[in-house]
Chains A and B, each alone.
Chain A
């Protein structure tokens, strides 16, 4: 790959990363805490690309001025030596660039949540501090852990409010769902809470706020349990800035 093309590829990849991090849409793909690292990596790549472009331009001009031949003007340094083939892999970096700028796929939703079995891991006791607020703003993951492993004790009698997206189960049931990521969207793990009450219908992937209270049901003390919530109100909202937990 020639030096000028190298420069363009570097700027494109760095630019795509910066676009994700500066627009905030990177949270559709990776954890929120990655933002600063994406800023740095994107800026480093753009800088490297710019540096490479300046070198390419200067050498080009120097070569033209001194009347050197092509071979000496463009040292084999950055050249793939025509047909070794390996550095041609660099072209593949266009794929994520195109995916980011052109396709811009949304955060994972109902499709992924329904393909991965629900696992509610048992939390250590210190991970369940007393709830504050009325209504309690609680995450779907936190709610599921308290309902399943704490038998709902800390939720009893509390008014709760949870944000998530809608997925559907058998017999017309629908779930308030959230995906948890440890690293990036490749390891997304679904958490679901079955919503009781006459609300809806909502379509898959619709983001909603459910207000209600805990009711027993769905099972406890096993990690494939899907707890219940009795809804008193449900309203549609926009997707939150960070769609994962």
Chain B
């Protein structure tokens, strides 16, 4: 390590670390190590700074909770997405997904049934599909439907709402409709330039295993970083916004729907558990509870942050509001019909 910090060498043979060292005077690895040592030494002060500040402690607890809860699903997602890239030939997708966007979107949305994860898993998988040449509109329909209509989520919903199978059906229909409608709108009006192609490390010439490793490491670090941004925001809002004024709007048919939809965005709860939270919001109308469960898996703070990380900010700033509006409308219509 010491030799890397010496003055730039004129030697032709230059290890990569040295090359980085010339640019920065010291490498990223050294910064990392110094940072960690400083933090370990400062642990007492850091802990003391949090002690006696319950708001700050709650913030830290909720932040860790969101990250840790999402992590196994994120790992599952990047394993799948890396496997798609490394082991499934591109020709497969050309055959599996119809050419016609009007048809490809509902097919992809229904395929969401098979991914038993929450929204954190579906972002990297959708990124992997786009990188493999699947039409963006179809990949996006899959992205929206997978966390909402897979069996695990539907079973959780039926457990949370015992004796009310109409809630499970309503959730399934409203979520599927949201995914298909958003996919169609994107296919018809979306511009290719809005979506930055997912940045993938080049894997040509690598063995499948090495391609798998490279993609998985890259996707995890990329999505994970944005998951942290979302987790920070959601934890901060969770602590800052008191939920005591929840009851004020509960009875109102219009505001209650909008309010719970907004709450779903802010709380960023995993789609496998959001039904239990929705069920506990008993003062709200069933349609508002449905809106909470339809919006949550498709638009929430950590999800939007991860979408921005995978497809770019231009994309997320258009896609998230569109999805929110469609999800609220879809939940309202299905709720009015079934609940």
Q: How far apart sit A183 and B279, CA to CA, in the bound complex (Å)? A: 13
B-side interface mostly: helix
User: What 0/1 readout, one digit per residue, does chain A (71-107) give for beta carbons within 8 Å of chain B?
Assistant: 0011111100010101111111111101111111111
CB of B131, distance to nearest CB on chain A (Å): 14
- Confirm or deny: A8 has a beta carbon within 8 angstroms of a beta carbon on chain B: yes
In the complex, what residue of chain B is closest to A81 when comparing beta carbons? B199
**Chain A residues in 8 Å Cβ range of B203:** 77
Q: A77-B203, A89-B225 are in contact. Are A186 and B235 (CB under 8 A)?
A: yes
- Judging by beta carbons under 8 Å apart, are B199 and A84 in contact? yes
User: What 0/1 readout, one digit per residue, does chain B (20-61) give for beta carbons within 8 Å of chain A?
Assistant: 100100011100100100011011001100100011011011
- A4-49 residues at the B interface, CB under 8 angstroms: 4-6, 8-10, 13, 17, 20, 26, 28-30, 34, 37-38, 40-41, 44-45, 48
In the complex, what residue of chain B is closest to A82 when comparing beta carbons? B23
Q: A45-B75, A84-B199 are in contact. Are A78 and B218 (CB under 8 A)?
A: yes
Set B54, B68, B234: member contacting A111, Cβ < 8 A = B54
- Judging by beta carbons under 8 Å apart, are B221 and A10 in contact? yes
- Confirm or deny: A109 has a beta carbon within 8 angstroms of a beta carbon on chain B: yes
Query: Which candidate, A60-68, A152-160, A169-177, A212-220, is the interface stretch facing chain B?
Result: A60-68
- Confirm or deny: A239 has a beta carbon within 8 angstroms of a beta carbon on chain B: no
**Chain A residues in 8 Å Cβ range of B107:** none
The residue among B23, B79, B273 with the most chain A CB atoms within 10 A of its own CB is B273
Number of residue pairs across A and B with beta carbons under 8 Å?
242
Query: Which candidate, B7-15, B83-91, B95-103, is the interface stretch facing chain A?
Result: B7-15
Of all A-B residue pairs in the complex, the 7 with the closest CB atoms, nearest first, are A183-B273, A89-B225, A182-B276, A111-B54, A185-B65, A90-B221, A184-B65
A-B contact pairs, 30 of them (CB 8 A): A1-B28, A4-B29, A6-B221, A8-B32, A29-B64, A34-B69, A38-B68, A52-B217, A55-B213, A64-B15, A69-B14, A87-B218, A87-B222, A87-B225, A89-B228, A91-B225, A93-B221, A96-B231, A101-B39, A105-B61, A108-B58, A111-B57, A182-B274, A183-B269, A183-B273, A184-B66, A184-B270, A186-B235, A187-B267, A189-B280
